[in-house]
């Protein structure tokens, strides 16, 4: 079972419990990992690739947060990180799992749309394709956007094989739009000039 979501204590049917556990277990030395619910799958399984990429996305967003500490945008990214961790728990669960997972607040999707609209109103009209690199902060946000798109592609692939919650793809699809908008906002905030793609 993935260390981020596992070590479920006995006598409970919820992933919310004490987080005291050893970092290494040796259980994955055979190239397999356990899902919430007990099933074991290869570490290259599409489900593992999916929640692993969401974990990568969460880390990249944490890097972006470190550049904008104390801002309203940092608070929004903190909420996104928590939502991604919840999404990861759903992806890390076996389809047959009976464990109770943290509830995902689906109102966070329209809330993110409102934040996209708020930031867009502060930016010049987008008339060209732009290239990452105007500022370090914006460039890191573009990397997060690309990881988000990769996570979305993997999860769409997973959804062709196994049933997943519809809000997961919806959230990631909107999140990539938000990260693109945020990258433009950060370029502007930190004094960068947008780099136009010259076709």
- pLDDT digit string, tens, across residues 148-186: 999 999 999 999 999 999 999 999 999 999 999 999 999
Q: Would you place residue 72 in the very low, low, confident or very high pLDDT band (cuts 50, 70, 90)?
A: very high
Half-sphere exposure of 167 (CA within 13 A, CB side): 14
Q: Is residue 74 included in any domain, yes or no?
A: yes
Q: Is residue 104 included in any domain, yes or no?
A: yes
Q: Is residue 89 included in any domain, yes or no?
A: yes
pLDDT at 41: 84
Q: What is the 3-state secondary structure (H, E, C) of 147-173?
A: HHHHHHHHHHHHHHHCCCCHHHHHHHH
Cβ neighbors of 194 (< 8 A, separation 6 or more) are 130, 134, 184, 187
Counted domains in the chain: 1
Tokens 């009976």 belong to residue: 98
- Cα–Cα distance measured from residue 94 to residue 83, given in angstroms and rounded to the nearest whole number: 19
Q: In Å, how far from its chain's centre is CA 4?
A: 14
Look at residue 63 and tell me whether its pLDDT is greater than 90.
yes
Q: Would you place residue 10 in the very low, low, confident or very high pLDDT band (cuts 50, 70, 90)?
A: very low
Q: Is residue 22 included in any domain, yes or no?
A: no
Structural domain of residue 180, as residue ranges? 44-196
Phi, psi of 94, deg, nearest 5: -65, 140
Q: Is residue 19 included in any domain, yes or no?
A: no
From 11-15, 89-93, 117-121, 168-172, the region with the lowest mean pLDDT:
11-15
Calculate mean pLDDT across residues 79-96: 95
Look at residue 3 and tell me whether its pLDDT is greater than 60.
no
pLDDT at 42: 81
Average pLDDT, the chain: 90
pLDDT at 188: 97
Q: What is the CATH number of the domain that holds 123?
A: 1.20.1200.10
- Cα–Cα distance measured from residue 192 to residue 133, given in angstroms and rounded to the nearest whole number: 9
Q: Would you place residue 101 in the very low, low, confident or very high pLDDT band (cuts 50, 70, 90)?
A: very high
**Residue 70 carries which DSSP code?**
T
Q: Is residue 190 included in any domain, yes or no?
A: yes
User: How far, in Å, are 45, 72, 151, 199 from residue 141 at the CA level?
Assistant: 28, 16, 15, 23
Q: Would you place residue 65 in the very low, low, confident or very high pLDDT band (cuts 50, 70, 90)?
A: very high
Q: Is residue 134 included in any domain, yes or no?
A: yes
Calculate mean pLDDT across residues 123-148: 97
Look at residue 98 and tell me whether its pLDDT is greater than 90.
no
From 23-27, 42-46, 87-91, 189-193, the region with the lowest mean pLDDT:
23-27
Q: Is residue 151 included in any domain, yes or no?
A: yes
């Amino acid at each position: 079972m993935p260390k981020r979501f596992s070590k479920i204590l006995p006598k409970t049917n919820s992933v919310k419990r004490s987080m005291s556990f050893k970092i290494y277990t040796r259980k994955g030395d055979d190239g397999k990992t356990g899902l919430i619910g007990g099933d074991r799958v290869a570490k290259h399984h599409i489900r593992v690739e999916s929640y692993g990429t969401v974990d990568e996305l969460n880390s990249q967003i944490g890097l972006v947060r470190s550049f904008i500490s104390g801002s309203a945008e940092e608070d929004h990214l903190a909420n996104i990180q928590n939502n991604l961790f919840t999404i990861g728990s759903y992806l890390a669960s076996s389809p047959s799992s009976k464990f109770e997972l943290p509830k995902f607040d689906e109102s966070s999707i329209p809330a993110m749309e409102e934040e996209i609209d708020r930031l867009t109103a502060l930016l010049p009209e987008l008339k060209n394709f732009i290239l990452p690199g105007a500022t370090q902060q914006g460039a890191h946000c573009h990397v997060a956007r690309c990881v988000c798109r990769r996570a979305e592609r993997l999860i769409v692939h997973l959804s062709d094989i196994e049933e997943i919650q519809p809000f997961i793809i919806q959230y990631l699809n909107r999140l990539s739009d938000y990260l693109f908008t945020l990258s433009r906002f950060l370029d502007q905030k930190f004094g960068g000039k947008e780099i136009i793609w010259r076709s």
